[in-house]
Structure 1
Amino acid sequence: MVPTLLGRARERDTLYELLERPGGASVLLRGGFGSGKSGLLTDLGERARTAGFAVLSACYEPDASQLPETAPSPAMCSLVPEDGGERAVALVRWLASGDATPPTDGILADARSAPTQRVLVLVDDLQWADAVSLRGLRNIARAVGAHPVSVVCAMGPGESVDEPALGAVLRLLDRHVRLSPLDESAVADRLAGILDASEDGKTAGEVLSPLLTAAAGNQYLIRTLLAAVDAQRHGGSDRPERPSLHTTLAGALKPLLADVGVAARAALRRIGPDAERVAAVLASLGGAQLPEVIAHAGAMDRHTVEDTLHALAQADLVQHAGPRAQLHPPLLAAGLAQGVSPTCRKQHHARAAELLLSWGAPARQVAPHLVHGPTGMAQATAILRRAAQAALDRGAPDEAVVYLRRTLSEDLDAQERSEILTLIGAARLDSDVPAAVPELRSSLRLSTTPQALARSARSLTGALFAMDRYGEALTMLEGTIQRLRTEDAAAALRLELDYLLVSLGEASSAVRAWPRLMELRLQDAEDDAGRRALAALLSFRGAALGEGAEDVIELARVGLSRGMAPVADESIVYPCAVLALGAAGRPDLTFEYADAAVAETHARASALNYAQALSMRANAHCRRGAFTDAQTDARRALAAFRDIGVDHRESHSVFTVATLAEAFVRQGQAQKAEDLFDDCDLGGPLGFHTIYDYPLLVRGWVHAADNRFERALADFLHLGERLNARGMTGPGFYPWRSEAALVHLLLGDRQSALTLADEELRLARAWGVAEMTAVALRGRALVVGQEEGLELLDEAARLLGGNFARFRYAQIQADRGTLAVRYGRPEDARAALQEAVSVAHECGAEPIAQQARAGLRELGDRPRTPTFRGREALTPAQRQVAELAAQGMTNTEIASHLFVGLRTVEMHLSKVYAKLAVSGRHALEQALR
């Protein structure tokens, strides 16, 4: 049930308090159209009747103010309460007459001997009161306090027939209550009661929020909206199930706008003879418009339009932003626009566009009118394309699509139509990837030049790749490359690079792709764009095969010389170069390129590239051991993919899900990682494409963390089979051999473990990347154990000291300390375990920190802090001494202040300097922040 009042509790309570004043009250209630004045009067009247008042009410209409003064006042004649009260009516009529003494006969004759019932007079739309009524109201208001009468008048926008008489009444209404527009939060509770449901994680209020904003706090519009929604939501008991909130809104909005349009047109006719016409033109044009544009569009006199706009503003139906006028609230404009015929709307926009073109207005101002105007207007195509490009430049792809789609209605040749379809597809990639596919297919079919053909094919490849439609991408690329080879060899090569990368995703196509990929050399590219794309792919090839890490890094730098998502270059190869940098032991560069891409793509609102850049940055965080940051970026990336229609089970999202799961498992939250995989359908059999290799590795870690070693081993070995089948034998991307070797060891198969560990170490040493070599050294060390194992771990620790792979370093130090404890080297063990605790704490890798603390306890240590470095490594006593020293106290002053010995202070400060890595007290203040 929609309540009579929404969000007017404060004003209602104020009126209640005034009503209870012993001497009566005279109140003016002011507000604009739809502010809830009438509802408040109705509510007040009901409250007063309950309290024993006789309630008399009157409501004026605009036509009433035109009555001659000799005619009976319609307002005074209507002052008859529903529940009787003849004495109250007689009293009010007598007060209105202005007579000094009461009548000597009739029901007021014994007024002095019998108490009179308290009376409340309610008057709505006072601005339209006739002259006779105004004089009567003035006399009644004068009597407040002397007689048991209260007066509450509501007044909205509109011109009075008798301004002096109205002013005389207003001066006597000593309390004013102003109704401002409702805030959305004021109706939130009511919404929750009316629409007791949620959808897609949103409450009913959140789903309705855009419409409430469009109502702009207008009580009438909000109540009409809620009534329509309530009827849609709860009406009809024969429905099999209650409709969704979005379905409800769709069903409620059309009749709502029709009702609003009817009510608004009736109100406009009261304002003036041209108000309805001016408002219709303004609603048809939409937005804020100059008076000259409104006049030209509606074929009206400019001065008439300006006067009418002033009257509409006085009625709170128009807002001004400088010289421009706009209908308000937005729902009012929408309701009026629904009543304008399509033919009239086209005429209005055509005239507006003609005027703006004659002024030389920019494309951004003219294009919105051309969108709704007739086809064939001069310069329409050029202006719409310029406006679309401007929209893309400022990050508004949906707006660009509107302009480009309208351009397709013009008379275009095949090539221009193809170009526009390509632009639409590119814009769609930034808002709705699935919707971009048919646009790009049409563009590809219509392309007549090699450049247009190649660009359409690259964009379409990106869309299909993002949705796991690799087979379609390969078929399309094969056909397009054949078309290009005879016309433009450079364009064909560029497209072939995407084809080869997509081919590596499946075993059968990878077998065919590797020979061609192995033939390619950087000098095969004929231009800069081709050279960059080829360098990016060759860096990925080198990382996959484990060929020369330094060469891979150099090639990746060339490929990424214009960033991970260069403008007007839709190739899918560039992110591969970013991954290759991580495999080559430079996660710092991976992070730099991904971070720059996040900023750049966000600024230009390139949604698909932005989501992918976030995903790459999240993975770089993981590789560096910053797992909290990895979680944040991975969640943001998944949300960005979801916004553009890329499901969390598809291509790019799968990689992001795996990154988030890795962050979970490294932090000791294996159950969260498993739940995430289950939610994303990654817990069972996985597709054979390369994108599923990473989830397979992480899933193996999840199983191992939960002591399900057989399942972990199956995942690691299956990953190895997939990589070998594609010819990706290098250890840089996924060190599956070391992981499988450790699980073999836990299952008691030492020989298999040793075979895999030895192979991994041989490949890693050939690869020459410190991180991967250290990982392989750790794998073999844990398999062989004893002194040889310690020596291998020592070498691994030296390799990663100061390296970017902080998690791997913590992991190796923990294993090194554990082995050193076992083989009786306590001092070496203590140093390694403390280092492991500190680095693991920085990373948030709690399982590693727990392992290291357990080793320290075996040595008899009792760590009192979660780390051995930084502020958190300080004990309470050390922190207290450090803070006093940072304030400038001498050692002697600190000892006296704390009632401890000087030697104790010196000992504490010495440990503080070591833990904070500072050379003296001058650096303490900064280090303690």
Structure 2
Amino acid sequence: MAVSSDRGRDASWRHLPGRSHALDGLLRTAAAARAGSARAVVVRGPAGIGRTALLAALAERLTSTGMTVRHRTARPGAREHQAVRDLFEPFDAGLPAATGAPAAYAVHRALHRRATGLLADGPLALILDDAQACDEASLNGLGFVLRRAASLPLLVILAQRTERPGPGADALSALLAHDGCTALDLGPLDPAATAAVVTRALGRPPAELFLQHCAELSGGSPGLLTRLLTDARAAGIRPDTDGLHRLRAVGEDLLTRSAKARLSAQAGPVRAVARAVAVLGHTDPELLGALSTVTGRRLTAALEALRRAGIVAPAGHPTVIREAVRRAVLAELPAPERETLRARAARLLNDAGRPACEVAAQLVHLKEPAEPWMPGVLRAAAAQAPDRTTARAAMRCLRRALAAGPTGGLRQEIRVELARTSAPLAPATTLAQLRQALAEATRPHDRARIVVEYGLTAVGTRRAPQAVRELGAVLDTLPTEPGTPGHGLRTPVAAALLVTAVNDRTALAAARERARDWPVPRGDSRGERHLLASLSTLAAFDGGPADQAVDLARRALWIESPAPVGPCVLGASIVLALADEVDEAMEAFERCVSDSRARHEPWTHIAALCGQSLTLHGTGDVATAVTTARTAVDLAARAGCPGATMPALALATALLSQGDAEEADALLDSIAGPAVAQGVWEWHQFLYTKGRARRERGDLEGALELWLHCGRSLEAAGISNPVLAPWWLPATTTLVQQGRTRAAAELAERSQEAVRRWGTPRAIGLGLIAAGVVAEGKARLDLLGEAVDALAASPARLERAKAEYQLGCELLAHGATADARRHLRRTVELATGCGYHMLAARARKLLVAAGGRMSRLAVSPVDSLTESERRVAALARRGISNKEIAATLFLSLRTVEAHLTNVYRKLDVRGRADLPPSLDAPYRPRRHAADGPRRSPADTRAPSH
């Protein structure tokens, strides 16, 4: 046995992640050769794909089997037959010093004799790396030896670097025609192999996203991946999600350097084609030839050279050229030449009738789209932007269109288009463009249209008061007499004014005063429905009756009409939820969620999720409320506003009912500031919820201060709705706990008028609880019993559970133990179904102290269903179709499907066939009142309201 190699001492080749299959295949070929059948393999792949490491590993394995291994690397520019001389050295003393074709046959015979002599000692392996650089005569000589030694134990391995042409390329193709010769193409590393390389290089397993970035940046090339990881290790980057941004920067720098080095080695026509591909982003032969002036076979050859160099992806790959490589190729050009190339490309694409977005992709890079046709193409491309990702490109298009210097109405139109496009991504840009468009507009119709956009965009921002003023100024210029030209513009402007003002504490009063004498519209147009939605919100603020606000909200959400968008749907949906019309509210929120997702309106989408969460919490579905609110919080963070107030408020509200006061309090602290203080709903909900958090953490005085502040602020804003932020109920119970019974009684008495005026079962039930808390003796029992009955008729299961608990405690204190146990048991069932585990544990403890048996405390999963879900599920169990259920319960088909999805999840069943029989026997509560001596129960603290 003998081994000879000119490889260095680097042992990195010993690690071959992802190449074990290729190595096993070569070893099987070697086994066939050792058995007496000469074999040859051409191992092909671009630079960095792992050819050299694979050959080194193969040489070591073959040596261990007893083969004589001759391992060399071809030297570019070597003299004729130099490669085979190197392979057979020092056994080439008898080779003739041939340099011409007439002597080739003699050389080939001499090679065969040397090979035969070596094979006499045992199997022989000849391994030649970079064979494409080998002289053609040497490869022809190896082919001769293979043909003459077909029945001898000879193995020939030739490695070819595919992206770099050389003198041996044609001879390698001819060699592959030999019966005993096959090709082995090395592909990119798979994810498992990439993970192994990353782990070995950085010392720990990578996070999934980090691994994906490594694979993307390296393209599966082991060499490029190793260089990337070497640079990452030098930069102190760890393979976790925190290292992603820095890894991408390191990777793009590496790709840039690599691309520049590979491109510099190419001929001029190849570089011209590379620049054309970098500009166009595709390899359409006609356009590529026109832009690069390289055509025909020269173009085909240039593309093949670029693919071999790894600058252009293989044919059929979804990405023709990587963005980092693209930038590197274009960076080699001076700026004026780049500008000229982009302009030529835009003209070619436009003349060829390519899509506007493709033409605009060139125009956005120009300093000024000076030719007359260019702004129109940019606007058309912006109009085609179908999603959030392409909206950024649309914004660039419209900014370039503005840079072209349009005048008059065209400039206004472009500004409005830019505002609409940027609204989901950059509200500040939107408002600035609309203000400029409004300032430039002179015609009443244009001013009305633009100011409506401005107002609706300013909803919930610090610009809302200014937008209300602008809307008011435009409204004052429009004629008031019906039938007068321009009178029809009043409705959309008035609607936008109210939509913008109803949730802004500084703008609400003036807008309310303006709207006091406005006639109520029918709802025949979108503008009228916007106005109806805002009027329903004002009616809810006024405190009722609830039926009036509901009527306005329903007309605003007229189901047969095209759905209004944004704040209009949200406002009307909230009114329905406040009025206990939760099925309609959830259906409206779902419409808003779906529409905003389809239209890529993140803020509307987030607000609708918050409305869903709060409504779900109000019906007692606390777990789903938490999940929905967390989704809203995550979306807000991804949309670039991690401190958004509505998602944090919705999540804090639900977390408090789950007993997580610490996280809820931290969330509320994170949004405290001017943003939350500006909104009507947000500010009062913040004060109310922050008070709940303080009470749960033991700060009764701090909680009471916040609730009383909430009441004073609502009164100052002229809002008398008792359930918008029902601060008065926990304030009453807290005053009683502090022994301030007179103040508690006065507060409870003041709340009754507002409760009766709003008139919903939830409001009446809460009002009865407040009255019961300050009453004594049998009056307290009667009032709490009436509260339980009132809440049983409402969707407020969570509030009903609290009322059941208070009634149970009071009955226990009066000695009515059996009746108390029934109410406490019902508390456990309701609270457990709602996910309010603190109250369930408290009621269970009190129930056991009152002699209740634990065996009777099992809670059916059916109790976790909301009333609406239970009604839908009961009908579904009877075999009624979804369409028939929707018609029976006056719901949309989508709402029925959503309810059933929740039912299956909560009951852990696969479909309607698995629904339990208990759905057909709904629980009917009974109330028991009794007099008796007052006792001291185990725990009679009032639950948090």
Aligned counterpart for 2:600 among listed residues 602, 605, 624: 605
The correspondence for 2:407, drawn from 397, 413, 421, is 413
Note the C-alpha offset of 1:135: 2.9
Distance 1:6 1:725 in 2: 78
Question: Is residue 126 of structure 1 aligned with residue 127 of structure 2?
Answer: no
* 2:847 aligned with 1:856: yes
By how many angstroms is 1:602 displaced?
0.5
- What letter is aligned with 2:415? L
Name the stretch that deviates more: 765-774 or 803-812.
Answer: 803-812
Asked if structure 1 preserves the Cα contact closer than 8 Å seen for 2:464 and 2:504, the reply is no
Structure 2 CA distance for partners of 1:924 and 1:111, relative to 1, 3 Å: closer
Do the aligned partners of 1:540 and 1:577 also contact (CA within 8 Å) in 2?
Answer: yes
Structure 2 CA distance for aligned equivalents of residues 655 and 418 of structure 1: 33
Q: In 2, distance between residues paired with 1:846 and 1:19?
A: 65
Matching residue of 2:186: 179
Deviations 1:113-138 (A, max 9, x none): xx89x986542343454321213434
For the pair 1:253 / 2:261, whether they are aligned, the reply is: no
Q: State the match for 1:388 in structure 2.
A: 382
Q: Equivalents in 2 of 1:226, 1:138: separation in Å?
A: 40
Shift of 1:427: 2.1
1:555-704 correspondence runs (5 A): 555-561=552-558, 572=567, 574-648=569-643, 653-678=644-669, 680-682=670-672, 687=677, 689-690=679-680, 691-704=682-695
Residues of 1 paired with 2:676 and 2:619: CA distance? 27
CA distance in structure 2 between the aligned counterparts of 1:366 and 1:669, rounded to whole angstroms: 55
Equivalents in 2 of 1:564, 1:397: separation in Å? Answer: 28
2-structure distance, mates of 1:413, 1:174? 72
**One-letter identity of the residue aligned with 1:15:** L
Q: Does structure 1 retain, via aligned residues, the 8 Å contact 2:506–2:678?
A: no
The code of the aligned residue for 2:129 comes to: D
Listed one character per residue, the Cα deviations across residues 810-843 of structure 1 (whole Å, up to 9, x for unaligned) are 2222323333333344454344333333332222
CA contact (8 A) 2:134 2:166 kept: no
Partner of 1:335: 328
Of 191, 204, 209, the residue aligned with 1:206 is: 209
2:43 corresponds to 1:29: yes
Contact 1:392/1:427 (CA < 8 Å) preserved in 2? Answer: no
Distance in 1 separating the partners of 2:464 and 2:204: 42
| Alpha-carbon distance, 1:245 to partner | 6.1
Residue 834 (1) aligns with residue 833 (2): no
Between stretches 12-21 and 506-515, larger displacement belongs to: 12-21
2:719 to 706, 728, 731: 728
CA gap 1:594/1:5 in 2 versus in 1, 3 angstroms: farther
Query: What corresponds to 2:262 in structure 1?
Result: 263
Write the distance in 1 (CA, Å) between the matches of 2:575 and 2:555.
12
Check conservation: 1:229, 1:249, Cα contact below 8 A.
no
What secondary structure does 2:276 align onto?
helix
2:273·2:288 contact (CA, 8 Å) conserved in 1?
Answer: yes
Instruction: Say if 1:786 and 1:4 are closer, same or farther in 2 by CA, change over 3 A.
Output: farther
Structure 2: distance between partners of 1:144 and 1:230: 50
Instruction: Classify the secondary structure of the residue corresponding to 1:153.
Output: strand
Equivalent residue, structure 2, for 1:57? 72
Structure 1 stretch displaced more, 633-642 or 719-728: 633-642
- The letter for the 2-side match of 1:99 is A
Q: Report the CA distance shift for 1:156/1:134 in structure 2 as closer, same or farther (over 3 A).
A: same
Kept in 2: contact 1:228–1:256 (CA 8 A): no
Distance in structure 2 (CA, Å) of the matches to 1:6 and 1:644: 47
Query: What is the DSSP-based 3-state SS (H/G/I as helix, E as strand, rest coil) of the residue aligned with 2:703?
Result: helix
Distance in 1 (alpha carbons) for counterparts of 2:918 and 2:94: 81
Candidates 84, 87, 107, aligned match of 1:76: 84
Equivalent residues of 2:360, 2:378 under 8 A apart: yes
Kept after mapping to 2: 8 A contact 1:806/1:843:
yes
Give the aligned partner of residue 401 of structure 1: 395
Match status 1:137 vs 2:142: yes
Q: Does the CA-based 8 Å contact 1:280-1:337 persist in structure 2?
A: yes
Deviation at 1:73, TM superposition (A): 2.7
Please tell me the root mean square deviation across aligned C-alpha atoms, in Å: 4.7
Question: Is the contact made by 2:46 and 2:162 (CA closer than 8 Å) also made in structure 1?
Answer: yes
Distance (Å, rounded) in 1 between the aligned partners of 2:22 and 2:856? 59
Equivalent-residue separation in structure 2 for 1:396 and 1:133 (angstroms): 56
Secondary structure class of the residue paired with 2:404: coil
The 1:355/1:256 distance shift into structure 2, 3 A limit, reads closer
Q: How much has 1:366 moved relative to structure 2? A: 3.7
Q: Is the 8 A contact 2:658 2:835 kept in 1?
A: yes
Q: Which amino acid aligns with 2:328?
A: G
From the superposition, tell whether residues 88 and 483 of structure 1 become closer, same or farther in structure 2 (CA, over 3 Å).
farther
Q: Which residue of 1 is the match for residue 110 of structure 2? A: 99
Distance 1:643 1:685, change over 3 A: closer
Distance in 1 separating the partners of 2:360 and 2:856 = 65
Per the alignment, do residues 172 and 791 of structure 1 end up closer, same or farther by CA in structure 2, a change over 3 Å counting?
same
* Residues in 2 aligned to 1:227 and 1:713: alpha-carbon distance in whole angstroms: 60
Q: Give, in whole Å, the separation in 2 of the partners of 1:366 and 1:824.
A: 84
AA aligned opposite 2:209: E
Inter-partner Cα distance in structure 1 for 2:274 and 2:508: 65
Whole-angstrom distance in 1 between the partners of 2:347 and 2:92: 63
Contact 1:657 1:677 in 2 (8 A): yes
1:768 and 1:410 mapped to 2: Cα distance? 60
Partner of 2:545: 548
Taking structure 1 as reference, are residues 72 and 356 closer, same or farther at Cα in structure 2, changes over 3 Å only?
Answer: closer
Which residue identity is paired with 1:536?
A: A
Gaps of 5+ in 1: 81-85, 235-242, 874-885, 887-915, 917-921
Superposition pairs of residues 890-905 of structure 1, within 5 angstroms:
none
For 1:399, what is the secondary structure of its paired residue? Answer: helix
Amino acid at match of 2:520: L
CA contact (8 A) 1:700 1:712 kept: yes
8 A contact 1:564–1:597 mirrored in 2:
no
* In structure 1, C-alpha distance between the alignment counterparts of 2:111 and 2:230, rounded to whole Å: 50
Aligned partners of 1:594 and 1:616 also within 8 Å: yes
C-alpha distance after superposition, 1:57-81 (max 9, x if no partner): 21365xx5xx9xxx5234335559x
Deviations 1:638-688 (A, max 9, x none): 22222232241xxxx21221111111111222223223334x154999736
Deviations 1:448-473 (A, max 9, x none): 44455455545555555545x2xx43
1:253, distance to aligned residue in structure 2 (A): 3.1
Query: What letter corresponds to residue 541 of structure 2 in structure 1?
Result: A
Amino acid at match of 2:760: V
* Equivalent position amino acid for 1:260 in 2: A
Q: Which residue of 2 aligns with 1:536?
A: 533
Alpha-carbon separation, structure 1, partners of 2:264 and 2:20: 30
Q: Deviations over 1:778-820 (max 9, x none)?
A: 2222332532222223222322335322222222223233333
Structure 2 unaligned blocks of 5 or more:
1-9, 98-105, 479-485, 865-876, 878-906, 920-945
In structure 2, the partner of 1:896 is none
Superposition deviation, residue 856 in structure 1: 3.1
Shift of 1:513: 4.8
* 1-structure distance, mates of 2:918, 2:765: 34
Letter in 2 for 1:656: P
Following superposition, the deviation at residue 369 of structure 1 comes to 3.9
Give, in whole Å, the separation in 2 of the partners of 1:54 and 1:553: 90
Distance 2:259 2:108 in 1: 40
Percent identity of paired positions between Structure 1 and Structure 2 = 24
Q: Check 1:321–1:456 CA distance in 2 against 1; reply closer, same or farther (3 A cut).
A: farther
- The 5 A counterparts of 1:138-153 are 138=143, 151=157, 153=159
SS in 2 for 1:731: coil
1:543 Cα deviation after fit: 1.2
> Residues of 2 paired with 1:279 and 1:795: CA distance?
82
2:745 and 2:774 in contact (8 A); partners too: yes
Instruction: Find the residue that maps to 2:724 and give its secondary structure.
Output: coil
C-alpha distance 165-182 of structure 1, shift in aligned 2 (>3 A): closer
